[in-house]
Structures are given as C-alpha cells and as structure tokens.
Amino acid sequence: MKNQELAKIFFEMANYLEIDGVSFKPFAYRKVALTLDSLKDDVGEIYINGGIKALYEISGVGEGIAKGIEEYLKTGKIKSLEALKKKLPFKVEELLKVEGLGPKKIKVLYQKLGIKNLKDLSKMAKSHKIAPLFGFGEKTEKNILQGLEFLKQSKGRFLLGDIMSTVKEIIKRLENRKEIKQVSVAGSVRRQKETIGDIDILVVSDKPKKTADFFVKMPEVEKIWANGGTKCSVRFKEGFDIDLRMVKKESFGSALQYFTGSKEHNIATRKIAIEKGLKLSEYGVFKGKKYIAGKTEQEVYKAIGLPYIEPEMRQDDGEIQAAIEGKLPILVELKDIKGNLHTHTLDSDGDNSLEDMVQKAIDMGHEYIGISDHSKFIGITNGLDGKKLLKQNEEIQKLNLKFKEQGIKFRILHGCEVDILPDGSLAIEDEFLEKLDYVIISIHSGMKMKRKEMTERIVKALENPNVDIFAHPTGRLIGQRDEYQMDFDKILEVAKRAGIILEINSSPRRLDLNGFNIRQAKARGIKMIINTDSHQKEQMDLMEYGVGQARRGWAEKSDIINTLPIQELIENFKLKIKN
C-alpha cells in the first residue's frame, strides 16, 4: 500500500513549496496528504483499476496532484519535488521539528548562515550567530536551543499516532496468512504509550520459517537486524524497528503478558508468582517444573491470583494493589464515545465545511457533534467574533431543524474555542458566550508566562461562569514543548469548584491531559471530555488516542462526559451554569 508513502511525499512537497514562497499549493498538498494518510483503499489499486480519472474521486485531488500520484506510482518519484530539493538543499522535515521554526525562518537561516540540518543549526545557535539576524533576536535563539534539547531527549522515539496505521496494516497482513494462528501487538504500543521505542508483535505460527521469510521480505523493510527461528527484527523505511516473536500456542498468553510489559509491571507480577510458590515467565506459569497456565493472559493472571489487568494500566503504579483489592476500574472504551465537542470548520482554521464535519460524525455512528471554531485572535487566521458566531448559530440551527424534520437522530451543539488572553479575560464578550450551548477555553499565546501569573490567568478564566471546558490544559507538545509553568493542583481545585470539564485532547502530538494528569483529575472527582480538536474531518478518527490516554489514566465511562447521551450532556452544561 503506497498511501502512507505518498502522504509523506506530499507533506514534504507542501513544506518545500511553502519555503519556496508558493502560496495556496502547500495547503492543497497537505490536505491531500492527510486524506491519503487515512484513506482505507489503496491508491495504487484505485489507479490500476480506474486510471487517473479514478484519482479525482479522492477528496482534494485535482489535476496537478493526480498527475503527481500517477508519476510517483509509475516512477517512484516526483520530478518537481526532486527539483525543489535541489534548489533548497536542506533537511526541511528535520528542521521543522524544532519548535518555533517555520518555513520562513528556515529559509532565512539557509540563505544567511547556510544552515542545512540540525547539526548546523545547533552550531550556529550555540555560537550566537542566529540572534543578530533580522526577525530573530535573543529570544528566538534561546527557543531554538531549547527546541533542540527537546528533540535530543525524544530522539529515536516515535509518536504513537505516527506509527499506528503501519502497525494495523502489518497486523492485518499477518492475520491474513494461513500458517498464522494468533497475532497480537505487544510492548508500549499495546500499552498505548504516547511515544514508542520500537514495535513488538507476537504470533503463533505453524510454519515459523515461512512467517519469518514473509516478515523480513516486506517491501517497507530497509534493514534486517535478526532473522532467527523465534525472533525477527527489522528496520522500516519510515525509521522505526519492528520485532516479531514466534511463540508456542501454549505460551501465547504468557509471552503476550511478558512482552507487553511494562518491565516494572512484569517484575511486580513475577514477585507475586514467587510469593505463591509459582514461577512466571514468557513460557508460562509453572509449579516446580509443571506447566499450569499460559494460553491466554486471563489464564496467566488468574493462575497467580489476580484479575485481568488492562495493558494501559500495566505501569506498576498502583494497578497491582488495586487488582489485589478488587478495585480495578472498568476503563472507558472507544465504543462508549457518543460525540466530539472540539471541532473546527471553514469558519475558522478548519479545512472542511460544517456539513462535511457533521456528515463525518454521523458516519462514525456518533449521536452528536459540537462545533467549536476559534475566536478571532492573533495567531489564528480567520477567527470568529461575536457577530460571526451568531451567524454560524443560524446555520447550525437550520441543520438541526432539517434533521428534526427528517427524523434523523443527530444533534449539532454550538460552542466556541475562546482564547484566554494574557490577563485571563476571554477573547469574546460574555453576551455572546451566554448564547452558546457550551464554551471551550484554551491558550494559544503567551505560553512562557511565569508560574504565578500563568496560574492566575487560568484561574480567572476558569471562574467565568460561561466557561464549560478547558482544552489542552497543560499546553505540552510531545517532544517539542513543555507544559506551561503553572500550579496544576490549584487549577484542579478551581476546576472542581467551578464545575469545569477538563479536556483530554486526542491529537497524537498533544495527548493533553496525559495519563498521569487524568488520574489526578479523576481522584478529585473532576469530569473530563475526550475531544479530537479536528481541523479536518479525517482527524475525528484520532479519538482512539485520547481514549488510550484516558485508559492510561484509569478513566471510567462515568468520568468522561461525551459518553453521555445528548439530553444528559446538555443538562450537564446547564446545571453548571446554574451553580
């Protein structure tokens, strides 16, 4: 399947074009890249079956892009991209990973200082060559150094959201093979850790040699680290490694338990086995030399006297004790989610119309959607002011009416993502906010405030009685930016008092709140909502990552308000306003 490869090429294309100063086109390429990334059908097959005409059916594909796809499928490259790379001979993808560096700055850095890669960038920043450049300054230089430091720390790890489509694809391929009887992903991927060192997969195969051959010969494999009778290990073109382990049927559960980890959880479970006079290993649970369990994980946990523990909780931070006491939570699941209240449309910086977003939600089987475009504010192109909000409301109510008349059980709620200004006031006046179904607040500027000021700023905003949801509350970007300096305990205390719902943002680079914060919030009885913050309809599928994080934070259905049916959800918002 060439979809991911092409998506990557188009992202690259967009970046190079943007740096080259071409307007509009980058946007179109990015849009198509995102579409390809989540497209279920194989682009290559679409082309083979229907020719270039069939490509036009893919959302956002016009003549130029269709020709690009055709060229890539036929020749493995796109000439215009190669030409751009020659003209701008630096590592765009690499440099863009540095928080605060955009295409414009990257171009200047190349033209003025010849910076081509991270190494050059680090050298120039350390020797203070960047600060004197026009449009840069001391602060930018410091930010670049910080950004580089972050990258170094996260080096070699991948975002869960960046590798998941590959994992699913490989699992599918393995499942389709006759000789393979059982397949599961293990390791940090199964635990839904936000970043992944490598991917671990377990299979039971009747013909291990055949399976190994198939695995190491997959077209994406770039290097083979190991190809043995029970374990293969390869590097994919995209840069990450995949370990495949072939185990015996009677050991599948114990091997899965072992290779799911975490290492800390394994040490703890093994200790419990020992206390019971048993031995737990990847091969099974043994009493002396006698095998007593190992086929399934359930069986393994049962043999050592524990109930089944969900993979996301296996971190040795309280789950064993909870299991012993019979107090394990019943974790929220993706299928419990009934809607998504953080979405953007063309009315602010989204790529799709209101109707398209709504249709996607309906297709997903959701019962409602909340539209929450940005307030007008610096940094956000095209935001809404009070008047535009009212106009948007008319359109939404028209659609709601249509649904009602047609007997379609679906409801659009009208919200807004309002910026918290540096002084803690909101970017839209209360008289407009009062009219909305709900109000989301969030920070997109002044993120480097000092702890005391930042805390006061957020507290003031949370205390506005019109506010319902605090989105991406800590502001972190994984591998790029730390959370805001703030007194998080104090913020939790105010959120609880004011009845504010905290968001679990599903965007793979945010996952904010994270699992740890979610447990803190839950412990204080604070309700949460899992949102996708979609700027494109396809991004509504990111919900699974938010759910994964919620599960890492021990969240149950009752902790998450978008598991509620529509009427109860509305009541929830109303009650809050009355309090």
Q: Give the torsion through C-alpha atoms of 505, 337, 499, 511, to 10 deg.
A: -10
Out of 259, 377, 410, 554, name the contact with ligand DGT by CB under 6 A. Answer: 259
**Counting contacts by CB under 6 A, is residue 408 touching ligand DGT?**
no
Min separation Cβ 285 and ligand DGT, Å: 15
Query: What character string, x for contact with ligand DGT (CB under 6 A) and - otherwise, covers 171-190?
Result: ----------------xx--
Min separation Cβ 197 and ligand DGT, Å: 3
Out of 187, 339, 383, 499, name the contact with Ca ion by CB under 5 A. Answer: 187
Which residues, 6+ apart, have CB-to-CB distance to 179 below 8 Å?
205, 206, 207, 210, 211
Residue with smaller CB distance to Zn ion, 200 or 417: 417
- Of the candidate spans 142-150, 197-205, 210-218, 508-516, the one that interacts with ligand DGT by CB under 6 A turns out to be 197-205
**Cβ 419 vs Cβ 461: under 8 Å:** no
CB atoms within 10 A of CB 126: 13
Residue type, 57: E
3-state helix, strand, coil in the chain (%, to 5): 50, 15, 35
Residue with smaller CB distance to ligand DGT, 314 or 360: 314
**Counting contacts by CB under 5 A, is residue 559 touching Ca ion?**
no
Give CA–CA dist 458/450, Å, rounded: 12
Out of 6, 196, 203, 569, name the contact with ligand DGT by CB under 6 A. Answer: 196
User: How many Cα atoms within 13 Å fall on the side-chain side of residue 325?
Assistant: 8
Which residues, 6+ apart, have CB-to-CB distance to 412 below 8 Å?
354, 358, 368, 369, 370, 371, 396, 399, 400
Min separation Cβ 473 and Zn ion, Å: 13
Instruction: Say whether 234 sits in a helix, a strand or coil.
Output: strand
**Counting contacts by CB under 5 A, is residue 417 touching Zn ion?**
yes
Min separation Cβ 410 and ligand DGT, Å: 39
- What does the block give as tokens for 342? 């953080």
Residue with smaller CB distance to Ca ion, 200 or 533: 200
Residue with smaller CB distance to Ca ion, 195 or 345: 195
For residue 244, report the phi and psi dihedrals to the nearest 5 degrees. -115, 125
Residue with smaller CB distance to ligand DGT, 80 or 281: 281
Residue with smaller CB distance to ligand DGT, 473 or 479: 479
Q: Which does 154 bind (CB under 5 to 8 A by kind): ligand DGT, Zn ion, Ca ion, none?
A: none
Min separation Cβ 309 and ligand DGT, Å: 14
- Of the candidate spans 94-102, 112-120, 180-188, 266-274, the one that interacts with Ca ion by CB under 5 A turns out to be 180-188
State how far the alpha carbon of 321 is from the alpha carbons of 316, 324, 328, 558, in Å.
9, 5, 9, 22
Q: Binders of ligand DGT among 366-385, rule CB under 6 A?
A: none
**Counting contacts by CB under 6 A, is residue 200 touching ligand DGT?**
yes
Q: Which does 259 bind (CB under 5 to 8 A by kind): Ca ion, ligand DGT, Zn ion, none?
A: ligand DGT
Q: For residue 501, give the H/E element and its range.
A: strand 501-505
Give CA–CA dist 131/141, Å, rounded: 5
Identify which of 329, 319, 330, 324 has the alpha carbon closest to the alpha carbon of residue 304: 324
Min separation Cβ 199 and ligand DGT, Å: 8
Out of 297, 373, 503, 533, name the contact with Zn ion by CB under 5 A. Answer: 533
Burial of 267 by CB count in 10 Å (0-12 exposed, 13-18 middle, 19+ buried)? Answer: exposed
Min separation Cβ 165 and ligand DGT, Å: 17
- What does the block give as tokens for 92? 């765009």
Cis preceding-peptide flag for 558 (omega within 30 of 0): no
Q: For residue 519, give the H/E element and its range.
A: helix 515-523
Q: Binders of ligand DGT among 262-321, rule CB under 6 A?
A: 262-263, 266-267
Min separation Cβ 260 and ligand DGT, Å: 6
By CB under 6 A, how many residues form the interface with ligand DGT? 14
Residues at the interface with ligand DGT (CB under 6 A)? 187-188, 193, 196-198, 200, 258-259, 261-263, 266-267
Residues at the interface with Zn ion (CB under 5 A)? 417, 533
Residues at the interface with Ca ion (CB under 5 A)? 187-188, 198, 200, 243
